[in-house]
């Protein structure tokens, strides 16, 4: 059908005013959401030499009751999950559940094992914990030995296999490339190979999770190469960072109908926040709050007795006074609850649970 020239001009003008680039298409509308959970990694059970410094119930109680963190991530090595270790974890999980604080069990071996092995391992472990949203399973930390498309198709196969086996726990999914959120979507061309998690998931058929309880799980450090090995928060030009990139990651999730967590990030230590890190740290906290419809929470890196007092991202104060020292400026930035008057402990997050438990 032919259109009048004035009508075609008007249509082009409207399209030009409202159009978005391929890299940044228009966001879908946001839905009201509870505030994000601010949490902490408690390291020790993933130590390479031994796990003597693994978190105790007293360590977890300190993080929850005194430092008021609302989410705990427990990194571990699967080879050490003996019956005694699992019993310790059950006691920790019972405590965090009583406080309404979800516990993330993080397989920290960084190996992407065959689909059947992953299903068997997590089925056996997960069935020993409630599936009401109080315990989440982090499949593999920073998988490093798998190609993008294989990762996406096998991740969906692992998740589907766990669901067929009756595992209903919330699942956290990381990706190759150190799980960096700054590399989640590289906007690959349609005829180019995938070099990012977003591309690989988009091109892999089938749902991510048949019961919609799987969440993307990314990391973000603010040094020049994003490795988390340097104290300074600078870009590749040596300039101080001011933007965390959390909002960009949130937009990429929102456009795909996905939700996620940031499970590793840091910008200081108990002793001090580097002056050049203050702005990017404040932006990270602000963007978590502004995007809580898709960014459900964060677990900051650097907690746990495994770290020496000189560690650049150590969250707690010196070990000999860790249960009594006053909150520091860094702890207050990491957890806004420390800057407010005490209130009731948080209840279950309606986005991840509860569901009726069969335990």
pLDDT in tens, the chain (359 residues): 433 433 333 333 333 333 334 455 667 778 789 999 999 999 999 998 889 999 999 999 999 999 999 999 999 999 999 999 999 999 999 999 999 999 999 999 999 999 999 999 999 999 999 999 999 999 999 999 899 999 999 999 999 999 999 999 999 999 999 999 999 999 999 999 999 999 999 999 999 999 999 999 999 999 999 999 999 999 989 999 999 999 999 999 999 999 999 999 999 999 999 999 999 999 999 999 999 999 999 999 999 999 999 999 999 999 999 999 999 999 999 999 998 755 444 555 656 654 433 33
What's the whole-model pTM score? 0.89
> Is the link from the previous residue into 326 a cis peptide, with omega within 30 of 0?
no
Answer whether 87's CB lies under 8 Å from 125's CB: no
pLDDT tens readout for residues 197-251: 999 999 999 999 999 999 999 999 999 999 999 999 999 899 999 999 999 999 9
Cα distance between residue 220 and residue 223, in whole Å? 9
**How far is CA 325 from each of CA 44, 53, 69, 111, rounded to the nearest angstrom?**
21, 20, 16, 38
> Is the link from the previous residue into 354 a cis peptide, with omega within 30 of 0?
yes
Task: Give the chain's length.
Answer: 359
Cα distance between residue 189 and residue 196, in whole Å? 12
- Orientation angle between helical segments 278-290 and 246-255, nearest 10 degrees: 30
CA angle 290, 273, 324 (to 5 degrees): 95
């Amino acid at each position: 059908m032919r259109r009048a020239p004035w009508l075609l001009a008007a249509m082009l003008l409207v399209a030009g005013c409202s159009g978005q680039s391929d890299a940044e298409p228009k966001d879908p509308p946001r839905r009201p959401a509870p505030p994000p959970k601010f949490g902490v990694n408690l390291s020790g059970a993933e130590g390479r030499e031994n796990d003597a410094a693994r978190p105790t119930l007293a360590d977890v109680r300190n993080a929850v009751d005194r430092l008021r963190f609302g989410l705990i991530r427990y990194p571990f090595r699967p080879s050490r999950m003996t019956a005694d270790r699992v019993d310790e974890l059950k006691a920790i999980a019972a405590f965090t559940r009583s406080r309404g604080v979800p516990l993330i069990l993080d397989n920290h071996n960084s190996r992407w094992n065959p689909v059947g092995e992953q299903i068997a391992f997590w089925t056996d472990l997960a069935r020993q914990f409630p599936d009401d949203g109080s315990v989440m399973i982090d499949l593999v930390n920073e998988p490093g030995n798998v190609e993008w498309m294989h990762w996406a198709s096998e991740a969906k196969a692992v998740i589907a296999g766990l669901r067929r086996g009756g595992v209903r726990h919330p699942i956290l999914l990381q990706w190759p490339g150190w799980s960096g959120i700054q590399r989640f979507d590289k906007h690959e061309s349609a005829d180019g190979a995938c070099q990012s998690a977003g591309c690989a998931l988009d091109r892999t058929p089938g749902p991510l999770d048949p019961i919609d309880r799987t969440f993307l799980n990314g990391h973000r450090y603010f040094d020049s190469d994003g490795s988390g090995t340097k104290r300074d928060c600078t870009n590749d030009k040596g300039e101080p960072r001011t933007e965390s990139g959390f909002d960009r990651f949130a937009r990429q999730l929102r456009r795909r109908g996905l939700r996620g967590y940031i499970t590793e990030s840091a910008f200081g230590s108990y002793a001090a926040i580097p002056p050049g890190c203050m702005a990017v740290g404040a932006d990270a906290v602000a963007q978590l709050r502004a995007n809580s419809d898709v960014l459900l929470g964060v677990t900051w890196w650097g907690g746990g007795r495994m770290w020496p007092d000189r560690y650049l991202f150590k969250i707690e104060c010196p070990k000999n006074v860790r249960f009594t020292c006053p909150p520091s400026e860094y702890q207050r930035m990491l957890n806004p609850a420390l800057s407010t008057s005490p209130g009731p402990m948080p209840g279950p997050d309606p986005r991840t649970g509860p569901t009726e438990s069969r335990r």
